[in-house]
Structure 1
Amino acid sequence: MNPWDVYLSDADLAVIRRAKFGRRMGFGSRPAVVVIDVQKFMIGEADALMDWPSNSGEAGFAAIPHIQRVLRAARARKVPCFFAAFELDPSGKDMGVYRRKRDLLDTENWCLAGSKGAELLPDLEAGSSDIVFVKKKPSAFHGTPLLGYLVERGIDTLIIVGGSTSNCVRATVFDASSHNFRTIVVREGVFDRIPISHAISLFDMDRQFADVVSSADVVQYLDGIPGGKALS
């Protein structure tokens, strides 16, 4: 059962069947993993969640083992792994119109540069062969070097994990598809603060722009990639 199934009516299902939404694009032959915002501000601390205004709580904690599993499988096959980290100047000068929606410049537990909130989670730190880059907007492509990294490596498939599903994951998925990458979202490896936002965003992505796939299926695919020559 998919997370979005409980929200769909019979009329919705009829539309899906008529339009033939949700066809599988499948995996390609040269994948990369893109990890979105696995930072302290996104998860928080289990014993002090109220101190972290943007925490994803249990949903974030539940996704960590699945993200770890995907990363282990990718690194074992020398598949490139890219970490996108959302980071803003403490003054807010690079926040843009987003500042009209949120104002969290008074807390070290958000994604301000140099703060503990902007740090990668200790359980998901980048490895020596991984690449970490900063983004200022929801999409990991907007104003970053990601596209150049992927083109140079001949990547045709992006495996997306991280958070949050309805914000930065979704924006990255739509841009990845627009750049004609086969885009795979790891169902258990993405997370959100609000369950309905998570479920419907997964539905929208799976319907038209990506394949939402279990972490077990993604690991099986990665395990089948011939080892040896590094893609990075």
Structure 2
Amino acid sequence: MTEQIWDKFLTDRDKSVFATGGFGARAGFGKKPALLVIDVSYNFCGDKREPILDSIKKFHNSCGEDAWDALPHIRKLIDTCHDKGIPVIYTTGTSRNDGWDAGGWAWKNARTEEDVTAPHASGFNRDGNDIMDEIAPSPQDIVIRKHKPSAFAGTALMAFI
């Protein structure tokens, strides 16, 4: 079994318990795999490739250049799934213009009022929840729009998977 990042925190007894209990076996892909593309939107990537500390000035949830570097790899994975007939399901946020439906998510961040929704004073003329063009959904894909951080809360995701 490949060493995991958390292994250094486990005692020998912990490791013995996991091994004896049968944990750590590869689960495989199952009989009906699906690809979930979670929140790869402009709000989480920014509108251009730039260092994260620059990107979060405009998109406070942005992952900066790391997100942009990941896009070609995500695209390749999506294309492979399409070629193999594996369903691709995207999630992204949605919210009312007044932000009322954001709930606790809004209260936990002092910059929530800056969230990018179209039109916005930032000059970005799209909804920040739009999925990145580089990995845009195809007609056969499913897009789940969610009001909360979890794609499982109040959405139809479970019905698809």
- Does structure 1 residue 147 correspond to structure 2 residue 158? yes
Letter in structure 2 aligned against 1:22: G
Distance in 2 (CA, whole Å) between partners of 1:87 and 1:61 is 22
> How does 1:32-111 map onto structure 2 within 5 Å?
32-44=34-46, 45-47=48-50, 49=55, 50-109=57-116
Structure having the higher strand fraction is 1
Distance in 2 (CA, whole Å) between partners of 1:97 and 1:108 is 15
Pairing partner for 1:133 from 144, 158, 161: 144
> How does 1:167-186 map onto structure 2 within 5 Å?
none
Specify which structure has the bigger relative contact order, considering alpha-carbon pairs within 8 angstroms and separated by 6 or more residues: 1
Q: Which has the larger radius of gyration?
A: 2
> What TM-score do the two structures reach when normalised by structure 2?
0.76
Letter in structure 2 aligned against 1:143: G
Query: Equivalent residue of 1:148, what SS?
Result: helix
Letter in structure 1 aligned against 2:158: L
- Identify unmatched segments of 5+ residues in structure 1: 151-232
- Does structure 1 residue 29 correspond to structure 2 residue 40? no
Find the counterpart in structure 1 of residue 17 from structure 2.
Answer: 18
Distance in 2 (CA, whole Å) between partners of 1:120 and 1:149 is 19
C-alpha displacement of 1:113: 7.0
Distance in 2 (CA, whole Å) between partners of 1:86 and 1:16 is 39
* Number of equivalences: 145
Find the counterpart in structure 2 of residue 124 from structure 1.
Answer: 135
Give the conservation status (yes or no) of the 8 Å contact 1:88–1:113.
no
RMSD of aligned residue pairs (Cα, Å): 2.5
Structure having the higher helix fraction is 1
- Identify unmatched segments of 5+ residues in structure 2: 120-125
Identity of aligned residues (%): 26
Distance in 1 (CA, whole Å) between partners of 2:160 and 2:29 is 19
